[in-house]
Amino acid sequence: DLVGLGESKHVRLKTPFGDPSGDFVIGKKHGQEIVFIPRHGRHHTILPNRINYRANIWGLKKLGVTHVITISAVGSFREEIEPGSIIFIDQYLDRTKEPDNGTFFDEGIAVHVSFGDPVCPCMHRQLIAIAREQGVGFTESGSYVNIQGPAFSTRAESKLYRSWGMSVVGMTNMYEARLCREAELHFGTIAQVTDYDSWKEQVVDVPAIVANLEKSLVSAGKVVTGFIEKFPFPECSCDCGNALQAAVYSDVKLLSPALKERYSLLLAKYYP
């Protein structure tokens, strides 16, 4: 619905990491094939800490996706980052407790990807440029603290994150950014600001969040549509597409046949 895919098909995948959040929706826009997966499920019934991020990202890779744009709700720690606006995140702080979603490579191999710059710099610049062209209000960079959820922050937590210099808080993006890097996908994100979290003396409730989501969705839709219209972009100097080249610390020849198959989508080009 965000960009209007028109005629589309639904694809259900089995993955080595379990079931994705739902069907992958595949359609076309401006001559480009688009794949969409609703992280919370089709009817928003999956809590942030119960999403199978690994299956979702693996599925995107399997379907031939190369560039991923995520859209998610966040609370703001800064007066100037207003509810109803959008922000292009470029840094993350992980406060989660779900090791199963932390990496694809959880057995039989040691893989340590470079993650100093968790967002593809080329995609980040492109999204900002498109937002300017579209004339939407936005903040061009910021740090996202990923909490466990599903509860919102306590006031003490919110004030602590604010004192650390964080920009926004959310419950989903950290997993997706890290797994996209391991899958050698270009990753960018548009965060929709729904509220001022709890550092401000105001009640954070679902109706207010939904109202601000609807307001910012218009801006997010314009940016995503603009990105699709201009895609593909000139070659970029980023290392996203070869992130695993210097990240595998184990000898892949020692992988069992079962593990070699499990990781084949991600590591096959590095197998001898």
d(CA 218, CA 173): 20
Query: Helix (H, G, I), strand (E, B), or coil: what is residue 123?
Result: helix
CATH code assigned at 232: 3.40.50.1580
C-alpha angle 32-36-40 in degrees, rounded to nearest 5:
165
> Do 186 and 67 meet the contact criterion of CB atoms below 8 Å apart?
yes
d(CA 93, CA 165): 11
Domain that holds residue 97: 8-270
C-alpha distances (whole Å) from 32 to each of 7, 8, 65, 219 are 13, 13, 11, 21
Catalytic residue status for 205? no
d(CA 123, CA 106): 28
The amino acid present at 86, given as its one-letter code, is: I
pLDDT digits over 63-120, tens only? 999 999 999 999 999 999 999 999 999 999 999 887 777 899 999 999 999 999 999 9
Residue 171 lies in a domain: yes
Burial of 267 (0-12, 13-18, 19+ CB in 10 A): buried
Please, what is the average pLDDT of the chain? 92
The amino acid present at 160, given as its one-letter code, is: L
Tokens coding 18: 């379990």
Question: For the chain, which residues score pLDDT lower than 70?
Answer: 1-5, 203-204
Q: What share of the chain is helix, strand, coil (3-state, %, to 5)?
A: 35, 20, 45
Query: Helix (H, G, I), strand (E, B), or coil: what is residue 146?
Result: strand
Tell me which long-range contacts 255-258 makes (C-beta under 8 A, separation of at least 24): 255/108, 255/109, 256/108
Q: How many domains does the chain have?
A: 1
Residue 262 lies in a domain: yes
CA nearest to 85, candidates 124, 38, 142, 35: 142
Q: Which of 195, 205, 239, 251 is catalytic?
A: 195
Q: What is the pLDDT of residue 1?
A: 58
Q: What is the pLDDT of residue 97?
A: 82
Catalytic residue status for 195? yes
Q: What is the pLDDT of residue 210?
A: 84
> Do 29 and 232 meet the contact criterion of CB atoms below 8 Å apart?
no
Query: Helix (H, G, I), strand (E, B), or coil: what is residue 163?
Result: helix
Cβ-based neighbour number of residue 42 at 10 Å: 12
Residue 207 lies in a domain: yes
Q: Which of 100, 197, 239, 251 is catalytic?
A: 197
Buried b (16+ CB within 10 A) or exposed e, 76-86: bbbeebebbbb
Tokens coding 92: 């993350």
Residue 3 lies in a domain: no
H or E element, residue 144: strand 143-147
Residue 121 lies in a domain: yes
Residue 198 lies in a domain: yes
> Do 190 and 224 meet the contact criterion of CB atoms below 8 Å apart?
yes
